[in-house]
Structure 1
Amino acid sequence: MILWIIDTHISRKEYFVETSEKIIIRSYVADLFTSQISYLENQIEGIVYDGNIEFLHHTRVMSRRIRNTLTVFSPFIGKKTSKRWFISFKKLTKSLTKERDLDVQIAFLEKEISNISEQKYLTGLQRLLLRKQQLREKKQNGVKQSILNFEKEKTLTEIQLFIDNNPFDTESFSLPNELKRLSYLEIEKLTKICFSYVPFITSPDNTEALHSLRIAMKNLRYTTELFNPIYPQLDSFISTMKKFQDDLGEIHDYDVWLTDLDSFLDEEKQRINKFYGQAGPFNFIKPGITYLIDEIKNRKIKIHEKFLERWNEQFQNQFWSNLRIIFENFDN
């Protein structure tokens, strides 16, 4: 397992530290992979044999988490291998994105419809739900094909081999300084990315900046979770990051809905006009969609206010400073 290094300028002490720490870190990564892969396999099995929409959601989330693992620990896994595995997981995530988005929107509409009694709104919302369900049905075969394509690549088999070749021993594990240093550098880098969007978060109209912050916060959270086993005190920080991510995710969902509803109005009007030869029946559809647009705009404002309040509160409570302190304890 030791990689021999031929360099007369490297002392025996430096050689020992470099190789032993690398071996320990690889075993740490293998331990992370063990739980991640086991969970992913269970979710994929659920997609194939159960069909519950939550299995698809959890598959996408875990594939993203694994991509974070590959990005952070690429030097210890092997850059070419990490890149190949990363591409495999990215294709899996991307192939399931449209389906998951539709599942979320269908569940959202079903809940909205169950809470509305006025017929003038129900007609449009039920038509919108029908279109979403029709589109989701068309994509169902694509979900299973995506799983088959992923399984053909044997990525999970290769990762299992990496796990077998780098056994993790809890009792003998000693936290390497290089792992502490890596954690500091990664969290510092991702925190800076998050803060690059902070000047733009005060307005709910800064759609792109809020969306970019959502992605950056998700990467920060998933990367922080990678170091949770060596820093148990990160639990509360990860919980807060998830709340940030959930708020920003809800804002993003509303932005997607607003764009989607505008497109739906145009497309449905054209469809009705083509079928009936005139757009009169569209007047039964429009009120429900207009109602939903107004409702979503109001909800977006409220969740944005909630996010800002949470952000400012955590900033005043030294959340970011305290997070940094956890990772600063390493030898340069």
Structure 2
Amino acid sequence: MPVNLGYRILAAKYIRQQAKQLAGQLDGVCAAKDIEFVHRARVATRRLRAALEMFDDCFARKHVKRWRKAIRRTTSSLGGARDRDVQLDFLCETLAALNAKECVPGIAALLVHWEHDRQRMQPHVVAAVERLREQGTLEAMARRSKRILRMAASLADDPWTPETIERAGCHIRARMDELLEHQSSLKNQYDREEHHAMRIALKRLRYTLEISRPLYAAQLDEPIKICRKLQTLLGDIHDCDVWLENLDNFARAERDHIIASFGRTGRFRQIRPGIEYLQENRRLRRREAFDELVAFWAELSDRGFWAELAAVVGNPTARPDDDAIRKCD
């Protein structure tokens, strides 16, 4: 069935906007002088991936397949670098505020090790950016989106038809259903795999809400804000899980290296207090974030938030947000 023009316009405006956002970060990503360039670039790739999934029938299938592959590769290349940047930033802040001198050697050793690790990642990050540029993926997205928007310029009628709104609503409801399938994991603070899956489902819902926002006036503003808070809490939980795994691996590797080099574990005792300090810090933060998440989720459930959202996106006569539409232009 052909896609109505209103839905294609929504796709073109959002994809053009995110392609432009990603392109604007690439020089900074390669320069590696400010970690925020990598952060913004990775977010843009994730938003593009969400949009290409939602609008996969708004462009030729062969183009969408090629674009998704290119953007997925870029996201993967940026992911490890961004995670390491955040960890290094946390270690620097921790050292600056630390009063326990016995913990300094271990944290400093980890900092030096991960700084070298991040430096080794950078050539791969640059190569990923160069590959994306050589493929012309972002230019192709912008060019084909512009063709759709040219058609929209000649329209006298409002392009946001009930069919456009209904299609977006179907995507939102599907993403919400995916998220709610994981809510039982909040009964078990140790169900790490399900918490991770819930985080991914929530991220997909949030991006879909943001994409669809021009169709629903201000009705999606609060849901987007709520999803952002939930995503932050689930992200903190996931980050702590990654920290604990990384710290275990680092401690094991350092201990084995010291034994292989010196025949005993004596030097490992110098760095162990710092590693144990970080492990306890991350365990505590995980418990705090999980408790806050459970309480906030219960609050949302008690007020019927998910039913409210389902009612909003189930209404194909929602009023478009003119301000949001202009921001996409």
TM-score (norm 1): 0.90
Q: Is the 8 A contact 1:204 1:300 kept in 2?
A: no
CA separation in 2, counterparts of 1:27 and 1:99?
34
- Equivalent positions of 1:67-216 (< 5 A) are 67-167=49-149, 168-169=152-153, 172-216=157-201
Q: Which has the higher contact order (CA 8 A, sep 6+)?
A: 2
Quote the offset at 1:158 in angstroms: 1.1
The residue that corresponds to 1:279 in the other structure is 265
From 30, 33, 49, the equivalent of 2:12 is 30
CA separation in 1, counterparts of 2:178 and 2:57?
22
Equivalent residue letter for 1:81: H
Equivalent residue letter for 1:216: A
- Residue 239 of structure 1 pairs with residue 225 of structure 2: yes
Which stretch of the first structure deviates more once superposed, 185-194 or 46-55?
46-55
CA separation in 2, counterparts of 1:164 and 1:94?
28
Q: Is the 8 A contact 2:199 2:235 kept in 1?
A: yes
Quote the offset at 1:240 in angstroms: 0.4
Equivalent residue letter for 1:320: W
Equivalent residue letter for 2:136: K
Which stretch of the first structure deviates more once superposed, 243-252 or 186-195?
186-195
CA separation in 1, counterparts of 2:11 and 2:281?
46
Q: Is the 8 A contact 2:103 2:275 kept in 1?
A: yes
Equivalent residue letter for 1:190: R
The residue that corresponds to 1:11 in the other structure is none
Aligned length: 313
Quote the offset at 1:269 in angstroms: 0.8
Q: CA 1:174–1:164 in 2, change beyond 3 Å: closer, same or farther?
A: closer
CA separation in 2, counterparts of 1:122 and 1:65?
39
CA separation in 2, counterparts of 1:329 and 1:264?
52
Quote the offset at 1:110 in angstroms: 0.9
The residue that corresponds to 1:257 in the other structure is 243
The residue that corresponds to 1:7 in the other structure is none
Higher alpha-carbon Rg: 1
Which stretch of the first structure deviates more once superposed, 272-281 or 300-309?
272-281
The residue that corresponds to 1:225 in the other structure is 210
CA separation in 2, counterparts of 1:78 and 1:248?
36
CA separation in 1, counterparts of 2:8 and 2:89?
41
Q: Is the 8 A contact 1:121 1:291 kept in 2?
A: yes
Quote the offset at 1:177 in angstroms: 2.3
CA separation in 2, counterparts of 1:248 and 1:268?
30
- Structure 2: runs of 5+ lacking an equivalent: 318-329
Which stretch of the first structure deviates more once superposed, 270-279 or 92-101?
270-279
Quote the offset at 1:329 in angstroms: 1.6
Q: How well do the aligned residues superpose, as a CA RMSD in angstroms? A: 1.7
The residue that corresponds to 1:45 in the other structure is 27
CA separation in 1, counterparts of 2:65 and 2:33?
30
Q: CA 1:295–1:49 in 2, change beyond 3 Å: closer, same or farther?
A: closer
From 302, 305, 320, the equivalent of 2:291 is 305
TM-score (norm 2): 0.91
CA separation in 2, counterparts of 1:162 and 1:95?
26
CA separation in 1, counterparts of 2:131 and 2:53?
22
Q: CA 1:276–1:89 in 2, change beyond 3 Å: closer, same or farther?
A: same
Equivalent residue letter for 1:93: T
Q: CA 1:251–1:262 in 2, change beyond 3 Å: closer, same or farther?
A: same
Q: Is the 8 A contact 1:188 1:324 kept in 2?
A: yes
Q: Secondary structure at the match of 1:204?
A: coil
User: Share of identical aligned residues, percent?
Assistant: 29
